C-alpha cells in the first residue's frame, strides 16, 4: 500500500517559534505522532519540585517524570557534572574505552552489592537486556534445551513497550495491533506465591517482577511475598530479576524497594533516576558469573555507557550514598500519607504506596481519576492518572514539609 503524504499538513521550517502554551500544543498536535495525551501544560523552566510554563504560571510537579527526576529539577550537582563532561568528551561508542565508564560501573556495582554492570540507555533496553541475560544463562549455565527457556512474569506488569515486552503485558492497549508476539513467557498473579510455585518447571530461567508495581497503580505486594520469591527462586535455580526502574534509587525511602523485605535479587534492572533527569541511563547489575554469559558481539549499544551518561550516573550514585534523599523520601512520605489519609471524603477507595510513591484509587461512584488530575492542574498541582481509577503521586525526593502542605491543601479542595 502506498501512503500519500499531504505536504500542506507539514509545518514549514521557517515558522516562528511558538509563544504561548496554546501555540506550542497546536504545533505538537500538527507535527508529532499522537502516542501521548499529556495534560495541557507546556513547561519552559524547572527548579526543585516546581515547574513554570511558557505563559509564566508556576506548578508543583508531583510526578517527577515517573521517577526520572528523583533528585529535583535543575539539581546543581548533577547539572555541574553534566556541564563539566560536555567540555571533555560526550561519546566514543564502545569501540573505545572512556574515562567515565569504569568508575561508574564500579560505583554502581558497589551500591547494588553486586559485581558487574551492563550499561544501556532506556528502561526498556534494560529489561530486554535482562531477558537476554536470563535466557542465555539458562542455556549455558542451567542446561535448558535451546529454544525452551521460560521467564515467569506478573499480571498487570509494566516493563516497557518493545515488541517482546508487550508480548507478556496484560494491558490490551499495549498489545492491540502489535502482534505477532514473542513466546517464552508465562503470566502469574502478582503477589501470589503459590501461582509462582505452580508455574515453575525445568525450563524456567527467571522470574521478572516489579517489587512495587507502578503503572498498575502503585501496588505493594503482601508482606513477606518478596522473601518467599527469593526462597522459591533459590530452591529452583531460577533467577530473581527485580525491575527497580521506577521503584529503585530512593523512591520508596530506601535505595531499592527490595530492601524493605531484606531480599537481594540475582539481577537488578535500573533506569530513570540513574540518569538524574538529564540523560537516559539504564543498567543491568548482577554477579560476574551471570553476566559472563555475554561475550564481545553478543549484545551492545552505541550510546550505552557513553561518558556523558556515565558522568551523570556517577554523581547520582555519589548522591545516593549520602542517603539524604532516601531519608527524606521516607520521612516526607510518611507525612504525605498522614495528610492524605486525614482528608474527609467519600470518593477514595484506597490510598497505598511506600515512601514518596502514592496511589489514590477512586471508587467507581466517584468517577475516573483524570478529571481530578485536571482540576489539580488548574490549581497548580501536576499529577497523572493510571488504570483510569488511580491518581499517582511521585514528587521529587527533595520535597519539603511546607511544599507537601501546599499540595495537600489543594487536594483537599478537589477531593473533599
| 376 within some domain | no
Average pLDDT over residues 152-159: 98
Cα separation, 359 vs 370, in Å, equals 13
What is the DSSP code (8-state) at residue 90?
A: S
Q: Which residues contact 141 (CB under 8 A, 6 or more apart)?
A: 289, 290, 293
| 409 within some domain | no
Q: pLDDT tens digits for 359-379?
A: 999 999 999 999 999 999 999
Q: How many CB atoms lie within 10 A of CB 58?
A: 11
Domain that holds residue 263: 76-320
Average pLDDT over residues 73-88: 98
**Which pLDDT belongs to residue 137?**
98
| 129 within some domain | yes
φ, ψ dihedrals at 79, nearest 5°:
-60, -45
Angle at which helices 401-415 and 324-341 cross, to 10°: 30
Cα separation, 27 vs 16, in Å, equals 11
DSSP secondary structure of 278-334: TS--EEEEE-HHHHTT--TTSS--SSTT-HHHHHHHHHHHHHHTTTHHHHHHHHHHH
Q: How many CB atoms lie within 10 A of CB 135?
A: 21
Q: What is the dihedral of CA 234, 204, 132, 272, to 10 degrees?
A: -60
Task: Give the C-alpha distances (Å, rounded to integers) separating 353 from 214, 340, 368, 391.
Answer: 9, 12, 19, 12
Name the residue with higher pLDDT: 3 or 22: 22
Percent of the chain with pLDDT over 90: 95
Q: pLDDT tens digits for 157-189?
A: 999 999 999 999 999 999 999 999 999 999 999
Q: pLDDT tens digits for 325-359?
A: 999 999 999 999 999 999 999 999 999 999 999 99
φ, ψ dihedrals at 308, nearest 5°:
-65, -50
Residue 111 burial class via C-beta count within 10 angstroms: exposed 0-12, middle 13-18, buried 19 and up: buried
**Which pLDDT belongs to residue 10?**
43
Cα separation, 23 vs 17, in Å, equals 9
Record the cell numbers describing residue 286, joined without a space: 548482577
Contact at 8 Å (CB) between 303 and 121?
yes
What is the DSSP code (8-state) at residue 36?
A: -
Cα separation, 298 vs 138, in Å, equals 15
pLDDT above 60 (res 5):
no
Average pLDDT over residues 78-101: 98
Q: Which residues contact 400 (CB under 8 A, 6 or more apart)?
A: 332
Beta bridge partners of 267: 241, 286
Number of folded domains that form the chain: 1
Cα separation, 318 vs 113, in Å, equals 15
Q: pLDDT tens digits for 292-316?
A: 999 999 999 999 999 999 999 999 9
pLDDT above 90 (res 92):
yes
pLDDT above 90 (res 17):
no
Contact at 8 Å (CB) between 64 and 395?
yes
**Which pLDDT belongs to residue 7?**
41
Record the cell numbers describing residue 272, joined without a space: 530513570
| 310 within some domain | yes
Domain at 298, CATH number: 3.40.640.10
Average pLDDT over residues 34-39: 95
Q: pLDDT tens digits for 192-215?
A: 999 999 999 999 999 999 999 999
pTM of the model: 0.95
Per-residue burial over 355-388, b if 16 or more Cβ lie within 10 Å, else e, is bbbbbbbbeeebeebbebbeebbeeebbbbbbbe
Q: pLDDT tens digits for 386-407?
A: 999 999 999 999 999 999 999 9
The sign one gets for the Cα dihedral 173, 177, 182, 184 is: positive
Contact at 8 Å (CB) between 388 and 367?
no
**Which pLDDT belongs to residue 15?**
52
| 43 within some domain | no
Q: Which residues are catalytic?
A: 158, 243, 272
**Which pLDDT belongs to residue 231?**
98
Record the cell numbers describing residue 386, joined without a space: 493510571
**Mean of per-residue pLDDT scores for the chain:** 96
**Which pLDDT belongs to residue 8?**
46
| 157 within some domain | yes
Cα separation, 303 vs 321, in Å, equals 26
| 222 within some domain | yes
| 136 within some domain | yes
In 275-344 the beta strands, taken as DSSP E runs, fall at 282-286
Amino acid at each position: 500500500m502506498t501512503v500519500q503524504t499531504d505536504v500542506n499538513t507539514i509545518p514549514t521550517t521557517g515558522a516562528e517559534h511558538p509563544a504561548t502554551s496554546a501555540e506550542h500544543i497546536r504545533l505538537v498536535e500538527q507535527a508529532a505522532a499522537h502516542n501521548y495525551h499529556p495534560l495541557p501544560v507546556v513547561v519552559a523552566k524547572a527548579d526543585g519540585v516546581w515547574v513554570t510554563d511558557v505563559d509564566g504560571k508556576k506548578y508543583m510537579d508531583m510526578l517527577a517524570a515517573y521517577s526520572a527526576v528523583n533528585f529535583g529539577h535543575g539539581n546543581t550537582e548533577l547539572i555541574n557534572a553534566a556541564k563539566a563532561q560536555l567540555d571533555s568528551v560526550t561519546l566514543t561508542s564502545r569501540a573505545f574505552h572512556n574515562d567515565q565508564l569504569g568508575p561508574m560501573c564500579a560505583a554502581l556495582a558497589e551500591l547494588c552489592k553486586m559485581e558487574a554492570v551492563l550499561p544501556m540507555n532506556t528502561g526498556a533496553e534494560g529489561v530486554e537486556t535482562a531477558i537476554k541475560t536470563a535466557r542465555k544463562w539458562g542455556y549455558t549455565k542451567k542446561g535448558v534445551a535451546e529454544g525452551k527457556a521460560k521467564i515467569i512474569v506478573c499480571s498487570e506488569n509494566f516493563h516497557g513497550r518493545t515488541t517482546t515486552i508487550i508480548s507478556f503485558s496484560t494491558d490490551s492497549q499495549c498489545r492491540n495491533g502489535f502482534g505477532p508476539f514473542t513466546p517464552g513467557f508465562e503470566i502469574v498473579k502478582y503477589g501470589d506465591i503459590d501461582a509462582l510455585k505452580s508455574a515453575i518447571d525445568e525450563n524456567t530461567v527467571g522470574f521478572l517482577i516489579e517489587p512495587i508495581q507502578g503503572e498498575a497503580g502503585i501496588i505493594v505486594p503482601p508482606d513477606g511475598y518478596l522473601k518467599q520469591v527469593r526462597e522459591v527462586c533459590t530452591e529452583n535455580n531460577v533467577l530473581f530479576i527485580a525491575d527497580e526502574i521506577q521503584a529503585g534509587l530512593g523512591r520508596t525511602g530506601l535505595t531499592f524497594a527490595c530492601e524493605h523485605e531484606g531480599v537481594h535479587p540475582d539481577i537488578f534492572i535500573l533506569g530513570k533516576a540513574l540518569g538524574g533527569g538529564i540523560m537516559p541511563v539504564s543498567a543491568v547489575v548482577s554477579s560476574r558469573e551471570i553476566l559472563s554469559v555475554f561475550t564481545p558481539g553478543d549484545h551492545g549499544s552505541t550510546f550505552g555507557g557513553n561518558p556523558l551518561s556515565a558522568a551523570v550516573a556517577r554523581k547520582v550514585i555519589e548522591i545516593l550514598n549520602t542517603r539524604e534523599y532516601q531519608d527524606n523520601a521516607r520521612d516526607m512520605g510518611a507525612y504525605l500519607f498522614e495528610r492524605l489519609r486525614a482528608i474527609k471524603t467519600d470518593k477514595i477507595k484506597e490510598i497505598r504506596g511506600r515512601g514518596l510513591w502514592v496511589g489514590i484509587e477512586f471508587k467507581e461512584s466517584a468517577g475516573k481519576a483524570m478529571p481530578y488530575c485536571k482540576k489539580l492542574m488548574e490549581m497548580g498541582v501536576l499529577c497523572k492518572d493510571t488504570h483510569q481509577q488511580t491518581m499517582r503521586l511521585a514528587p521529587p525526593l527533595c520535597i519539603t514539609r511546607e511544599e507537601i502542605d501546599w499540595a495537600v491543601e489543594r487536594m483537599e479542595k478537589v477531593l473533599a
